Amino acid sequence: MGNVFTVCFSGTSCTRDEGEVSRPGSDKDIYDPATGYIPVRIHKELTGSLTATSPSVTVRGVGENDWAVPRNNSEPLVLDGPLRAPADLLKDAKPYSGGDQRSRVSALSGWDAAALALHAANLAARSGAKAFNFIGHSRGAVECVMAAWFLQAYGSPEVQAVPVRILAIDPVPGPGNWYGILTQLPPNVVEYVGVTAWDMLDTGFDGVVPRPNAKMAGTSQTLKLGTGSWTKLADNYQLTDPLAPAKSGMGQPTGYRLFACRGRHATVAGNMTSNGEYNAADVNASAARVPELVYRLARAYLTSWGSEFKVKSGVDTYSLPLRQQINLDQAVFDNMAGGPLRDSVRPGRPYVRQVSSISGRNPFNTYYLEDVVGDPPYRQPYPVTAARTGAGWVDWTFL
């Protein structure tokens, strides 16, 4: 494919050297040595250096500074061009550029995500590349979609025509407002791959499953950008909900793949602890097979999209044996979230992950993950409840 620029987005409270350098609150030994923290390790394997900015660049996570050292400072963001960002977006973004950005408030609210997405979009636009590949985890995965919108809305015609491909690892917007630019893919995204963790139940970690764009869905809708605020860019372009039940005659979208994967939010991005938490004393070889599988998936897609790695894969085991071992050792993943049986006497389904593709924070806009993915293959023990029913419009693949 050639002339590809890759942007690797870190998740909340993650530095640009996450998993490569230990710091207070983040011991690098919680990460699988073969995969590291996947977005950062991918960048390192594309460029050979953590600090490189071409042909790949990293973007820090919300509520955090760029590097483990210095601990109290971050680099200025690229906000003023080449994209023609509106005044309201620049005003909202500039407080998060440079200085000490480590903040518990920001980590919870995620307000700096727009600034980081604009920064990434500007870096991509000024690269002059003929294709943009975005990979991110958590809010970093959501920023992939936001950055694509900023390229679509504020780029020159030449930039708008550059295809964007996204690999989103457990995208989570957080508990705040879910704007349309989080829940809908813009027309410049030609491929989207989303991985959703099955065993993540923490409050505020509902996963977003963005809607396919018109070309993916095979429909004729045209883009009409919203006006009045950057937050409304996609409000007039919210297309078919991929989580809603299928209607007669609806085919599968093209260039759009959804994967369900065992493990917690951190597990699918490189964490190898038995509980998906952050104590290196809890590392577990069985848990490591999930990040190794996701890492292989990420490298495979990025390679097919034109990103060129300088080193061979850090995981020698092929995907099929990894999948088989994950399913043979399912107890470690069952124990991450409610055990092998997810039924409960408590109201609702407290041991079932929830996802959404609807703008807003209304809890009635969410779906239970087990209700939208279809039936897990009988050989793969994904815990479900007796209340499980139905399936969404878009097919899912179980890793």
Is the pLDDT at 59 greater than 50? The verdict is yes
Torsion of CA 199, 210, 168, 147, to 10 degrees: -140
Instruction: Supply the pLDDT for residue 1.
Output: 45
Q: Which of 47-51, 159-163, 250-254, 356-360 has the lowest mean pLDDT?
A: 356-360
Instruction: Supply the pLDDT for residue 175.
Output: 83
Exposed e or buried b for every residue in 286-299, given b needs 16+ CB within 10 A? bbbbbbbbbbbbbb
Smallest CA-to-CA distance from 141 within 41, 7, 314 is with: 7
Is the pLDDT at 144 greater than 60? The verdict is yes
Smallest CA-to-CA distance from 7 within 151, 153, 147 is with: 147
Sequence-ordered list of residues with C-beta below 8 angstroms from that of 1, at least 6 positions apart, any chain: 130, 131, 305, 306
Given a contact cutoff of 8 angstroms between Cβ atoms, the answer to whether 58 and 50 are in contact is yes
Give the Å distances, CA to CA, from 298 to 72, 135, 136, 290, 323.
31, 8, 10, 12, 15
pLDDT digits (tens, 9 = 90+) for 336-357: 998 999 999 999 999 999 999 9
Give the separation between CA 295 and CA 19, rounded to whole angstroms.
14
Q: Which of 67-71, 275-279, 311-315, 375-379 has the lowest mean pLDDT?
A: 375-379
Instruction: Supply the pLDDT for residue 26.
Output: 95
Q: Find the mean pLDDT for residues 237-259.
A: 92
Instruction: Supply the pLDDT for residue 239.
Output: 95
> pLDDT band at 151, cuts 50/70/90?
very high
Backbone torsion region of residue 392, taken as left when φ is above 0, otherwise alpha when ψ lies between -120 and 50, otherwise beta = beta
Tell me the backbone φ, ψ of residue 208, rounded to 5 degrees.
Answer: -100, 140
What is the pLDDT of the chain when averaged over all its residues? Answer: 95
Instruction: Supply the pLDDT for residue 242.
Output: 96
Is the pLDDT at 361 greater than 90? The verdict is no
Instruction: Quote the percentage of the chain above a pLDDT of 70.
Output: 99
Give the Å distances, CA to CA, from 162 to 129, 153, 252.
8, 13, 24
Given a contact cutoff of 8 angstroms between Cβ atoms, the answer to whether 269 and 169 are in contact is yes
Instruction: Supply the pLDDT for residue 97.
Output: 98
Is the pLDDT at 363 greater than 80? The verdict is no
Instruction: Supply the pLDDT for residue 2.
Output: 54
Give the separation between CA 118 and CA 150, rounded to whole angstroms.
7
Instruction: Supply the pLDDT for residue 223.
Output: 95
Instruction: Supply the pLDDT for residue 213.
Output: 97
Smallest CA-to-CA distance from 75 within 96, 106, 91 is with: 96
Give the separation between CA 321 and CA 273, rounded to whole angstroms.
20
Q: Find the mean pLDDT for residues 98-103.
A: 97
Is the pLDDT at 91 greater than 60? The verdict is yes
Residue 286: CA count within 13 A, CB half-sphere: 18
CA angle, corner 17, sides to 15 and 19, nearest 5?
A: 95
pTM of the predicted model, to two decimals?
Answer: 0.97
Given a contact cutoff of 8 angstroms between Cβ atoms, the answer to whether 170 and 37 are in contact is no
